[in-house]
Protein backbone atom coordinates (compact mmCIF):
# COMPACT_ATOMS: atom_id res chain seq x y z
CA UNK A 1 0.00 0.00 0.00
CA UNK A 2 1.33 3.45 -0.94
CA UNK A 3 2.22 5.93 1.78
CA UNK A 4 1.44 9.62 1.24
CA UNK A 5 3.13 12.29 3.40
CA UNK A 6 1.89 15.90 3.26
CA UNK A 7 4.68 18.42 3.81
CA UNK A 8 6.60 21.51 2.84
CA UNK A 9 8.49 20.20 -0.18
CA UNK A 10 10.94 23.05 -0.63
CA UNK A 11 11.84 26.61 0.32
CA UNK A 12 14.28 28.83 -1.59
CA UNK A 13 15.17 32.47 -2.10
CA UNK A 14 16.89 32.11 -5.49
CA UNK A 15 17.80 35.69 -6.24
CA UNK A 16 18.01 36.22 -9.97
CA UNK A 17 19.13 32.73 -11.01
CA UNK A 18 17.24 29.59 -11.98
CA UNK A 19 17.15 27.44 -8.85
CA UNK A 20 15.67 24.03 -8.05
CA UNK A 21 12.85 24.55 -5.55
CA UNK A 22 12.21 20.81 -5.26
CA UNK A 23 13.53 17.58 -6.74
CA UNK A 24 11.49 14.42 -6.23
CA UNK A 25 13.61 11.89 -4.28
CA UNK A 26 14.51 8.50 -5.74
CA UNK A 27 11.80 5.88 -5.29
CA UNK A 28 9.04 8.44 -4.72
CA UNK A 29 6.53 10.51 -6.65
CA UNK A 30 5.03 13.81 -5.58
CA UNK A 31 1.95 15.97 -5.92
CA UNK A 32 2.70 19.69 -5.85
CA UNK A 33 -0.47 21.39 -4.70
CA UNK A 34 0.60 25.00 -4.18
CA UNK A 35 3.62 27.26 -4.60
CA UNK A 36 3.73 30.48 -2.55
CA UNK A 37 5.72 33.34 -4.08
CA UNK A 38 6.53 36.06 -1.54
CA UNK A 39 7.75 39.53 -2.57
CA UNK A 40 9.66 41.15 0.28
CA UNK A 41 10.33 44.47 -1.49
CA UNK A 42 8.51 47.79 -1.85
CA UNK A 43 8.17 47.37 -5.62
CA UNK A 44 6.53 44.86 -7.92
CA UNK A 45 8.64 41.86 -9.01
CA UNK A 46 8.23 39.12 -11.59
CA UNK A 47 8.83 35.40 -11.32
CA UNK A 48 9.04 32.20 -13.32
CA UNK A 49 8.15 28.59 -12.47
CA UNK A 50 9.01 25.58 -14.62
CA UNK A 51 8.65 21.81 -14.24
CA UNK A 52 11.21 19.45 -15.72
CA UNK A 53 11.29 15.71 -16.26
CA UNK A 54 14.25 13.93 -14.68
CA UNK A 55 15.78 13.30 -18.12
CA UNK A 56 15.75 17.06 -18.85
CA UNK A 57 16.64 18.34 -15.37
CA UNK A 58 18.96 21.33 -15.63
CA UNK A 59 18.70 24.73 -13.98
CA UNK A 60 20.75 26.24 -16.79
CA UNK A 61 18.55 25.06 -19.67
CA UNK A 62 14.84 25.72 -19.30
CA UNK A 63 12.79 24.97 -22.41
CA UNK A 64 9.79 27.12 -23.32
CA UNK A 65 7.46 24.11 -23.00
CA UNK A 66 8.49 23.62 -19.33
CA UNK A 67 7.23 26.97 -17.99
CA UNK A 68 3.99 27.07 -16.05
CA UNK A 69 4.49 30.75 -15.13
CA UNK A 70 6.70 33.26 -16.94
CA UNK A 71 6.91 36.98 -16.18
CA UNK A 72 4.09 36.73 -13.62
CA UNK A 73 3.90 39.69 -11.23
CA UNK A 74 3.79 39.80 -7.44
CA UNK A 75 2.81 43.19 -6.02
CA UNK A 76 5.01 44.99 -3.51
CA UNK A 77 5.08 43.36 -0.06
CA UNK A 78 2.59 40.70 -1.14
CA UNK A 79 2.34 36.95 -1.73
CA UNK A 80 0.90 35.12 -4.71
CA UNK A 81 -0.25 31.51 -4.45
CA UNK A 82 0.10 29.37 -7.56
CA UNK A 83 -2.19 26.34 -7.29
CA UNK A 84 -0.97 23.77 -9.79
CA UNK A 85 -1.83 20.21 -8.70
CA UNK A 86 1.15 18.87 -10.69
CA UNK A 87 2.25 15.26 -10.37
CA UNK A 88 5.96 14.53 -10.62
CA UNK A 89 8.02 11.33 -10.78
CA UNK A 90 11.38 10.53 -9.17
CA UNK A 91 14.06 12.98 -10.33
CA UNK A 92 11.60 15.54 -11.74
CA UNK A 93 12.14 19.13 -10.61
CA UNK A 94 10.45 22.46 -10.04
CA UNK A 95 12.72 25.32 -11.11
CA UNK A 96 12.06 28.93 -9.99
CA UNK A 97 13.45 32.37 -10.78
CA UNK A 98 12.79 35.85 -9.41
CA UNK A 99 13.57 39.30 -10.80
CA UNK A 100 14.74 40.43 -7.34
CA UNK A 101 16.97 39.01 -4.64
CA UNK A 102 14.11 39.58 -2.17
CA UNK A 103 11.65 37.02 -3.50
CA UNK A 104 11.08 33.60 -1.93
CA UNK A 105 9.28 30.43 -2.97
CA UNK A 106 7.65 27.70 -0.88
CA UNK A 107 6.26 24.46 -2.34
CA UNK A 108 3.54 22.49 -0.52
CA UNK A 109 2.23 19.05 -1.38
CA UNK A 110 2.82 15.38 -0.74
CA UNK A 111 5.43 12.72 -1.39
CA UNK A 112 4.19 9.25 -2.26
CA UNK A 113 6.15 6.06 -1.59
CA UNK A 114 4.85 3.03 -3.47
Task: Supply the pLDDT for residue 58.
Answer: 82
Q: Which residues of the chain have pLDDT under 50?
A: none
Task: Supply the pLDDT for residue 64.
Answer: 95
Q: Alpha carbon 62 to chain centroid distance?
A: 13
Task: Supply the pLDDT for residue 13.
Answer: 97
Task: Supply the pLDDT for residue 26.
Answer: 97
* 21 neighbors 12 (Cβ within 8 angstroms): yes
pTM for the predicted model, two decimal places: 0.94
Task: Supply the pLDDT for residue 9.
Answer: 98
CA-CA distance, 56 to 37, in Å (whole number)? 24
Amino acid sequence: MATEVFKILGQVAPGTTNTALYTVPSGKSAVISTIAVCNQTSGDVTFRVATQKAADASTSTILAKQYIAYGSTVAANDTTFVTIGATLAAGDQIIVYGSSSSISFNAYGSEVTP
